[in-house]
Amino acid sequence: MNKTSPVAANTKSMTFRRSKTRISDKIIPILLGLCAMLSVFTTIGIVYTLLQESVIFFKEVPVWSFLTGTTWSPILPPKEFGVLPLLGGTLLITGIAIIFAVPIGLACAIYLNEYAPARVRGVVKPVLEVLAGVPTIVYGYFALETVTPFLQKIFPDMGIFNALSAGLVVGIMVLPMISSLSEDAMRAVPKSLRHGAYALGATRFEVALKIVLPAALSGVVSSFVLAFSRAIGETMIVTVAAGATPQLTLNPLESIQTMTSYIVQVSMGDVPRGTIEYGTIFAVGLTLFVITFLLNILAQWVARRFREEY
């Protein structure tokens, strides 16, 4: 009976493992590259679809009139295609959300990183991040059924649909993004900076505000910009709670309409495909895409500009 020696078996096993490793080293980069290319091709497909339909729309409506017009009435005559009321409503909602979320989110991040015990941090941070998983339609009805009635006790002239309640709830939605990303950026600051400040007699608040926060500024500002991008593209909350009245106003107690809520309204199937009204979906969508694209570029620039390396 022929028996394989232990040395030969071990050599054969090592050879098999090396060949298996070489195959995986060749296949895995290809799979990862395909995944990366898939995202690129998806983005290209989205841009192509938006441009294809928007070009048809802008053949009938001048770009300048679309960007500077102050009346938006694409369905009912007399038809007007000025996107400024939708853009103004979007920025009003986003501004309320950011004004509400940035101070609270930053305060939460400072507390979790500098003050909270480990046990408290282990409970509070997951609870905050759970807010990010709540469906936005739930936030929308929370704004309509809970926040709006509460605010009407303070502002009796407020309508059922208004920008204030929608903006506040959008702020609640982006709050976990700001607090979590800012806390992660602060946690990455080396402890030696804190210890050095404590050795010089700084208080805990001074360390947090004058040492940790400036050192983590790139990550903190990036979280603000990303939250702004998330708020400006929010759909269901503003569709449910803000109303469908496209108007240029700075009064948060009035009903307004955002770009995303208009897209939802027209996409319900009542507008025939191929009409100019149908083309407004893609023109507004392209405008929103350009805004969020520029915001992402700004976030990357800020991250590079203020990045601290230790």
**pLDDT for the residue numbered 12:** 52
Query: Per residue in 118-133, pLDDT tens?
Result: 888 888 888 887 887 8
Query: Per residue in 158-196, pLDDT tens?
Result: 888 999 999 999 999 999 889 988 988 888 888 888 888
**pLDDT for the residue numbered 268:** 74
Query: Per residue in 215-240, pLDDT tens?
Result: 888 888 888 888 888 899 888 899 89
Q: Would the pLDDT of 68 be above 90?
A: no
Helices (H), the chain: 6-60, 63-68, 84-110, 118-131, 136-142, 148-154, 163-187, 191-199, 204-206, 213-215, 217-232, 236-241, 259-266, 276-305
DSSP secondary structure string, 186-254? HHTS-HHHHHHHHHTT--HHHIIIIIIHHHTHHHHHHHHHHHHHHHHT--HHHHHHT-S-------TTS
Query: Per residue in 4-33, pLDDT tens?
Result: 555 555 555 555 555 556 666 777 788 888
**pLDDT for the residue numbered 35:** 84
**pLDDT for the residue numbered 276:** 84
- In angstroms, the first-to-last Cα distance of the chain is 65
**pLDDT for the residue numbered 19:** 58
Name residue 20's amino acid: K
Measured CA to CA, the distance from residue 282 to residue 58 in angstroms comes to 10
Measured CA to CA, the distance from residue 272 to residue 72 in angstroms comes to 19
Measured CA to CA, the distance from residue 179 to residue 172 in angstroms comes to 11
How many other C-beta atoms lie within 10 A of the C-beta of residue 173? 24
Kindly indicate the confidence band of residue 141, based on its pLDDT and cuts at 50, 70 and 90.
very high
Determine if residue 274 is left, alpha or beta; phi over 0 gives left, psi from -120 to 50 gives alpha, anything else beta.
Answer: left
Domain ranges for the chain, please list them: 6-53, 83-305
**pLDDT for the residue numbered 17:** 58
**The pTM of the whole model exceeds 0.75:** yes
Q: Which fold has domain 83-305?
A: MetI-like fold (1.10.3720)
